[in-house]
Chain A
Amino acid sequence: MTHSVLPMPRGDQRLIWAAAAVGVGLAILPFVGSALVVDKLTYLFILIMFATMWNLLAGYAGLVSVGQQAFVGLGGYAMVRMVDAGLPPFPAIFIAALCTGVVAWVLSWFVLRMKAGEFAIATWVIAEAIRAMVSFDPIIQGETGTSVTALNAYAPEMRRLTIYLLALATAALMLWASWKLLQGRTGAQAQAIRDDEEAAASVGISTFQVKQRIYILASIGCAVAGTLWLASAITFQPRTSFGVQWSVFMLFMVLVGGIGTFIGPILGAVLFFALQEIFGDFGAWYLAGVGIVAILFALYLPNGIVGLWLDKGRDEPLSMRKRLQVKE
């Protein structure tokens, strides 16, 4: 009896072509669209990056972190420091994120040895500790924060367009990279660890290395998204950049879209973005509503929007599961 892996379903292929077409359309859009649309879409791309990265961590590797804001803030801080040292801001966005990856590598030796609940809390406390340490830096001026004034050297239209295209390209790259990663060996290993760590270890997966790889990648991803956000917001404040709200947003988008699915976080990000556009003016009551929606999804629809689709007996779109055909 032999088996072979079935090719990608027809529907998935169409979906990928459609996504590519949307990507090309979005790349042309800033040359015709208004400045407001460009700014909003930049934010949407950043949200998609956050959601994809958190899903990689929690959905595929089972690492439920409440401390990803550590990397959002650290990336921003590294960028502020680099621009202050004379580096041009746009390369600094990416170099800062890579530096954050080094910090994540160091932290991973500590946090990845923890059990689930400890991991969630410890990552949060580490983010708070890093925030406190960053606030000591005189350049940050404590809670006041500082601005990446070097960005003002560029013309506003030029800056807006560059950040938009960078965000679009990075989001596309991140989706492609996580697709490749999850389709490959690491993805299968990570899902095995998520489902049962001891069983995964018993079939020869070096669980620590796989978790470490995903943890560092997700941290760099969050740092890139964070620095891009900082580049569009310009002001760096420790309380905002290291705020736990980043992790809450990531969690909300992934949960509502469908945790552990490839397409879920993207849907979640789009939905969260739409909610913010429609109800954002209600301020605190809007955020309270977001909290209630999160409770309802967690209790009654834990597989999110994609779960609704699956409940009808349909296949998961863009699934990371391999489909095998058995031959007699």
Chain B
Amino acid sequence: MLGKLQRDGSSQKQVLLVSILFMGLGHIIYFKDYVKGLLFMVVEVAGIACIPLFFGKVYNLITLGSPQPDLPIKLRANSMFMLVDGILTLGVAALFITMYIISIKGALQEYQDYCTHGEVKRTTAKTLISEKAFPIAGLTPALVLLLFFVLVPLIFSACVAFTNYSAPSHIPPNNTVDWVGFDNFKDMFGGNAAWSSAFGRVAIWTLVWAVLATATCYIGGMIMAVVLHESKIRIKPLFRGIFILPYAVPAVVSMLVWKNLLNGSFGIVNRTLMEIGFIDGPIPWLSDLWLARVVCVLVNLWAGFPYFMLLIMGNLTAISSDVYEAAKIDGASKFFTFRKITAPLVLFQTMPLIIMSFTHNINNFGAIYFLTGGFPKVSDSTVTSAGGTDILVTWIYNLTMTLNKYHYASVLAVVIFVVMAPFAILTFKNTKSYKEGEV
């Protein structure tokens, strides 16, 4: 059979055809590469054996089950299981197709070798272990696990955005769930007055919150670090220790404590202020919409600046004192040195961390949920469950935990992902420290 192949490359089509016909067939009949060929054939046979299962699962994925009101609940089709099974099945199918392509490419590669060398290197048990196959085999389990434990859940939650998985009439196993296309996105982006106005409000506040929270923490941290570094305070470690304390306390605890301290009517802050005659009536720290938002940023500053302070203090020690000395000799003022030397150098090194902090703040569940709990309520809260200080991620929590509107929650999650992922990657790649590879 080997003799039938032309060495001028004209038999490529033949090899291709036979390889497509059955996985590994080309390896066996043309190149007598039995080990590899048989392995591929086993994969193909397993694949064929799974075809009925495959089509059943994909059919379920497409229909997500039909309503069976006459059956007892535990016998009814569960749309969510069908969705997960369907996605898993497609994942397995994708792996299978990848194998197929690898086998065809492998056969063509061997033919190429045959054309140039007149013979092929056959796979034996020895080469299988010592050469290319080994690292591939070693990495495959990790890759497969990554696929199924990272990718499948992500795809699953994104898929929910295109279904009507919501209370009260589309919660499995009682009822089935159906695909609704882009209806949920339409509702969120203008189709439904209450939902789209809530979405606009919450999305804008989320961005404003993330920018302010990151900026205040960073600037606050930098001021503290520079002051501690430059000033002639005697017991620096003591002050440093005190400033780090807010960071050392679990954020959840401190947020809950702040919530109680700032309670407008019963909190100790207002009571003290009123006791000493500073104010006449209580200040609505958390019950006035705008003041509550300001308080969110300020309390987050209190809890978040120590992180950046520590970070920047580390960076400051790395800046050579020669630079400062030169500036001093040239007669630069303290502020001018800070503006021209300290700030640019520190910013350069911490840019990736600022971006990380920004993305973290967009999803900063704890700072909002435990401080205000979304309060104060606004007019559309009754329908959408989004309070005045809720950010997207706490709204997602409300939608899933109290309203059981998984479809809208999933739309929000998709929106966050679509906006955040490219933004984060692009900005991160554009930072100098990433480009230069080392700092």
Task: Specify whether A and B are partners.
Answer: no
